């Protein structure tokens, strides 16, 4: 089970006017192109989205490279705003494919890193964490803003993902890693979730946390049952004890 976080309370970002985007994702590249068409400085980005929507890859690459060059020639204040604006746009619209091309991803990441090195605040660390997937950046963001909702949700999600990995072979009665580590990760996830504001994302994370806590708890009971030998697999044992979990089906391929 891979988890997904959305519907957070988005922070108001100066100059981006994106507060309302946490309520509903755009339907695709075409809608985003229309939104940015008349935004000063984003005309090339809008054109890129249109070209990608039409499947014109070479033309889209040319335009996005022009957009990056344009950004590099602007003042750093503008570069910072654009980097955060597009990173947040991507965050709230993860279902829109090819939204941030590789050159744009590299540019945004480098800009955020430069920002982190010159100023102490949560925004660059939050979005650098999103762009790189590195938890340390989210932790840095919390040092400057302990209530950063994106950082809190992503760190909770990361902790639950660790437990997800350790438990994804329980259909074969196999627990990967150390049970104590899984329990610690669940406690960490709980700590981050507790600080989050009330939102759909918090509710989903809290529900997922409860499911994993129950799963790990039942596994520990199963592992400590000295009389379970010959009485079936973990899924069978769990069902017999009134716990019906949805287990993944693992498929192995010969290479």
Is the pLDDT confidence value at 20 over 60? no
CA distance 111 to 127: 11
Is the pTM value of this prediction over 0.95?
Answer: no
pLDDT in tens, 209-248: 999 999 999 999 988 887 766 667 888 888 888 787 776 6
Percent helix / strand / coil, the chain, rounded to 5: 65, 0, 35
Is the pLDDT confidence value at 169 over 60? yes
pLDDT in tens, 55-90: 899 999 999 999 999 999 999 999 999 999 999 999
Work out the pLDDT band at 199, boundaries 50, 70, 90: very high
Is the pLDDT confidence value at 157 over 90? yes
The pLDDT mean for the chain works out to 86
Cβ atoms of residues 222 and 228 within 8 Å: yes
Work out the pLDDT band at 27, boundaries 50, 70, 90: low
CA distance 118 to 111: 11
pLDDT in tens, 94-114: 888 889 999 999 999 999 999
């Amino acid at each position: 089970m891979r988890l997904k976080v959305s519907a957070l309370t988005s922070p108001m970002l100066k100059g981006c006017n994106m507060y309302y985007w946490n309520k509903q994702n755009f339907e695709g590249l075409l809608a985003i192109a229309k939104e940015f068409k008349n935004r000063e400085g984003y005309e090339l980005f809008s054109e890129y989205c249109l070209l990608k929507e039409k499947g014109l890859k070479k033309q889209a690459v040319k335009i996005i490279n022009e957009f990056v060059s344009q950004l590099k020639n602007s003042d750093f204040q503008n570069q910072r705003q654009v980097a955060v604006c597009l990173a947040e746009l991507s965050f709230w619209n993860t279902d829109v494919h090819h939204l941030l091309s590789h050159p744009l991803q590299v540019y945004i990441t480098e800009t955020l890193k430069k920002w982190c090195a010159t100023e102490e605040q949560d925004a660059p660390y939050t979005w650098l964490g999103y762009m790189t997937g590195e938890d340390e950046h989210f932790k840095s963001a919390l040092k400057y803003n302990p209530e950063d909702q994106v950082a809190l949700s992503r760190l909770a999600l990361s902790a639950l993902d660790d437990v997800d990995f350790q438990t994804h072979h329980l259909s074969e009665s196999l627990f990967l890693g150390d049970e104590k580590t899984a329990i610690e990760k669940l406690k960490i996830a709980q700590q981050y979730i507790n600080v989050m504001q009330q939102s759909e994302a918090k509710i989903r994370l809290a529900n997922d946390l409860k499911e994993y806590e129950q799963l790990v708890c039942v596994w520990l009971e199963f592992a400590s049952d000295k009389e379970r030998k010959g009485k079936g697999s973990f899924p069978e044992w769990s069902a017999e004890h009134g716990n019906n979990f949805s287990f993944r089906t693992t498929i192995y391929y010969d290479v």
